[in-house]
Structure 1
Amino acid sequence: MNDNQSADKQGKPTVFYAKKSAESKSSQRSYQGNDSRHQRGSAPRHDQDKSSHDKRRTERSKMNRETIKDNRIEMFRPRSRNNSVTSHESPWKSRVQKSEQLATFENDTTILSNQQLKRQRKEETLVYSENSCKAIFAKRPESIIKAFFLQEKTHEFKPLIAWLVERRLGYDIVDDAHMSKIAQTQHHGGVCLIVKKRSSLTTATYLAQNNDAKYDYVMAIDDINNPHNLGAIARTAAFFKVNGVMLRQPDILDNGASLRVSEGGAEYLTPIKADDFIVSLDQFKQYGYQIVALLPCKVNTIKAENLTKLSVRAKTVFVIFQQINLKLVEFADKVVYLSGSEAMPALNISVLSGILLAKIDRTHTK
């Protein structure tokens, strides 16, 4: 009788025992060797492995959350040139532009090429002060590119602001410090415009346009480059209804300081470009204009008459200069001067021009 049969007779289940391998025996010995440690309260090895695994998983999850958080904030960080944004800044915080607002032709050279900068400096200019900006808006509003105002000036320039908004042109409300940087002067008057420069006429074009005019007076300004003197002459000329101003470089008349001193008067004068004054004056002579040269002071070697005895025609070109140009003096039909005293033999050219034009105005009233 075999073993199975004997087990069946006794009613007991048959149990099979597997032979232990060498690895299982070594692990059992290792486990038994750690019984003393378990008895001292240490956690079993498999519990330690589980706790360290959970700890690593927690740290990994935390790192992933921080990475996702950083990436999400990075999406809302405003782009800047140096990409320097501190970690404590809120991505939804409103940011005010801190960069200086400058004229178009003073922008960063890394954005605009040198060719673009030269073109903008040639085509655009700054106009500031109240009367000058109002004259620009009244005479040629289409030339306005952008405007800057102090807060207290917005009510006074409300029509201009409405016009800019209607045509979707830019304007900014700035403080006094920024306005001084934009206008490049402290004498800005609370308003500054970036405008396109006027295009000057040639002598032939001007004569063709004014051929039928009954009265026409032109100021031919030679060797006067001070913008304040030019502005003063332009203001006086506009006051006495002079129509044109002839210059070798008409762009000087569009200088911001010149426009400010002219108080808007320059806008009522037509700029005429003359590379050669003798040639241009000869063209005026051919159209019947009288040429009158005004000396800044009395010169004994030059034959001239006193300004108080001057009589002019209905169409006259007045030649004025700081330093006497003998070629222009010789080409003139009449040469006049205003006598002074030994203490002050000469006047400022702008003041002298005003006295000359006032004499002409009195002649018209007679």
Structure 2
Amino acid sequence: MSDNESSNNKAKPTIFYAQKSQEDKSKRPYAKRDGDKSKPSGRGGYGKPSGDKPRSNRPRNENSRASDSRIETFKPRGQQSVSRDGDSPWKSRFQNTEQLPTFDADNKAPVVHEQIKRQRKEETLVYSENSCKAVFENRPETIIKAFFVQEKTYEFKSLIAHLVEYRLGYDVITDEQMTKIAQTPHHGGVCLIVKKRKAELVGDYLSKSAQVEQDCVLAIDDISNPHNLGGIARTAAFFGVGAMLLRQPDILESGAALRVSEGGAESLTPVKADDLLASIDQFKQQGYQIVALLPCKVSSLKADTLTKVKMSRKTVFVIFQQINPKLATLADHCVYLPGSEAMSALNISVLTGILLAKWQENITNL
């Protein structure tokens, strides 16, 4: 081969690549420099002499990387959707759970009605400082989630530490948001979602109270106002009452009743009585004294004033909103508090407090 032919062969690659279009340049491998030895091409073979024609540009998979190219292009494994409404791809991901926004006032998301019904049956809201502190002190295992305004986070730092330790959720929200969740402006800056207590049966409670010498039980008849019931629970806890006998124990577990009770409901045992008359008779057979408190004097019933009745260490007080003649007949004593012409009757929670103060005085003198 002559010197002219050799020089022409060496120049061929340069002439060839200079004539390639811009589109083909991105697909072809880099040309070897003049004088370089043959090296592996990255496809299992060795480079061809400079005089041979370059390999044809075969179509490649988009996900495959050109191993014979010095410029490497990195692509994500999967195409991610474009963020919406300013969402960040680095935002933390939350695990989907069965917990539904039972107490969400807006109720924007579609929810399963059966699950909401179950949650409202098993869970309740507790708000106000003293009520939430009492729940945390007596039954912290029932707490599901907590809400705080910023000003209350230091006061409830021990509760927050408990929530963090057991990986329970809590949110720091505004006062307006707290009002929506608690469904009342009287929330006290803190609100808990807790599991309701299960009411005991009459037989189970009597089997436990048989071991004690002193016990007082309030049998509540036809009192469905949660504020009155909460006031009675607060008074009962103050005087050391052991249990409340209720047809509907869920009323005592409502947020309004627990708030008014100021934590007093936590020291009371709710006892369910489907048949209040039969349940009171069970207490009577176990040696309890039955005392019916009338809201005012009734001519059709024989009743005495509080000063004339001696009460025993084990007593069931029947509290009426409206007088039930059958329950009054079953009682050992009917008592009332005489009033003035200006006001013949007191609020039922106030009247219960006076009655329990008299009971405490009696058992102290025994």
In which range does the TM-score fall when normalised by the shorter chain?
0.7 to 0.9
**Gaps (5+ residues) in structure 1?**
1-70, 79-84
Counterparts of 2:229 and 2:307, CA distance in 1: 24
TM-score by length of 2: 0.73
Q: Is the 8 Å Cα contact of residues 100 and 111 (structure 2) preserved in structure 1?
A: no
CA distance change for structure 1 residues 205 and 352 in 2, over 3 Å: closer, same or farther?
same
Counterparts of 2:153 and 2:308, CA distance in 1: 50
Q: Is the aligned partner of 1:75 residue 2:80? A: yes
How far is the alpha carbon of 1:361 from its aligned partner?
1.3
2:283 alignment partner AA:
F
Counterparts of 2:360 and 2:277, CA distance in 1: 27
Counterparts of 1:147 and 1:365, CA distance in 2: 42
How far is the alpha carbon of 1:90 from its aligned partner?
7.6
CA distance change for structure 1 residues 177 and 93 in 2, over 3 Å: closer, same or farther?
farther
Q: Is the aligned partner of 1:310 residue 2:309? A: yes
How far is the alpha carbon of 1:310 from its aligned partner?
2.0
1:224 alignment partner AA:
I
**SS of residue paired to 1:106:** coil
**SS of residue paired to 1:298:** coil
Q: Is the 8 Å Cα contact of residues 292 and 333 (structure 1) preserved in structure 2?
A: yes
- Say which of 99, 102, 105 aligns to 1:105: 102
2:200 alignment partner AA:
L
Q: Is the 8 Å Cα contact of residues 252 and 265 (structure 2) preserved in structure 1?
A: yes
> What are the equivalent positions in structure 2 for 1:169-208 lying under 5 Å apart?
169-208=168-207
Residue 113 of structure 2 corresponds to 114
Structure number with higher helix proportion: 1
CA-to-aligned-CA distance 1:195-223 (integer Å, 9 cap, x gap): 00000011111101111111010000000
Residue 219 of structure 2 corresponds to 220
Q: Is the 8 Å Cα contact of residues 127 and 133 (structure 1) preserved in structure 2?
A: yes
Counterparts of 1:333 and 1:171, CA distance in 2: 51
Counterparts of 1:236 and 1:203, CA distance in 2: 22
Q: Is the aligned partner of 1:289 residue 2:294? A: no
Q: Is the 8 Å Cα contact of residues 290 and 316 (structure 2) preserved in structure 1?
A: yes
> What are the equivalent positions in structure 2 for 1:249-328 lying under 5 Å apart?
249-328=248-327
Identity %: 62
**SS of residue paired to 1:105:** coil
How far is the alpha carbon of 1:113 from its aligned partner?
1.5
CA-to-aligned-CA distance 1:89-126 (integer Å, 9 cap, x gap): 5856979x9xxxx9842355855321111100000000
Counterparts of 1:317 and 1:280, CA distance in 2: 11
Count of aligned positions: 284
Q: Is the 8 Å Cα contact of residues 100 and 116 (structure 2) preserved in structure 1?
A: no
CA distance change for structure 1 residues 123 and 90 in 2, over 3 Å: closer, same or farther?
closer
Q: Is the 8 Å Cα contact of residues 234 and 262 (structure 1) preserved in structure 2?
A: yes
Q: Is the 8 Å Cα contact of residues 104 and 120 (structure 1) preserved in structure 2?
A: no
Q: Is the 8 Å Cα contact of residues 128 and 186 (structure 2) preserved in structure 1?
A: yes
CA distance change for structure 1 residues 361 and 344 in 2, over 3 Å: closer, same or farther?
same
How far is the alpha carbon of 1:282 from its aligned partner?
1.0
Q: Is the 8 Å Cα contact of residues 305 and 337 (structure 1) preserved in structure 2?
A: yes
Residue 360 of structure 1 corresponds to 359
Q: Is the 8 Å Cα contact of residues 77 and 91 (structure 1) preserved in structure 2?
A: no
TM-score by length of 1: 0.73
Residue 124 of structure 1 corresponds to 123
**SS of residue paired to 2:298:** coil
Moved over 4 A (4+): 89-95, 107-111
Q: Is the aligned partner of 1:347 residue 2:352? A: no
**SS of residue paired to 1:353:** helix
CA RMSD across the alignment: 2.4
1:358 alignment partner AA:
A
Q: Is the 8 Å Cα contact of residues 149 and 175 (structure 2) preserved in structure 1?
A: yes
Q: Is the 8 Å Cα contact of residues 76 and 91 (structure 1) preserved in structure 2?
A: no
1:106 alignment partner AA:
F
Q: Is the 8 Å Cα contact of residues 103 and 181 (structure 2) preserved in structure 1?
A: no
Counterparts of 1:248 and 1:306, CA distance in 2: 28
Q: Is the 8 Å Cα contact of residues 223 and 322 (structure 1) preserved in structure 2?
A: yes
Find the structure with the greater CA-based Rg. Answer: 1
Q: Is the 8 Å Cα contact of residues 311 and 363 (structure 2) preserved in structure 1?
A: no
Counterparts of 2:169 and 2:197, CA distance in 1: 21
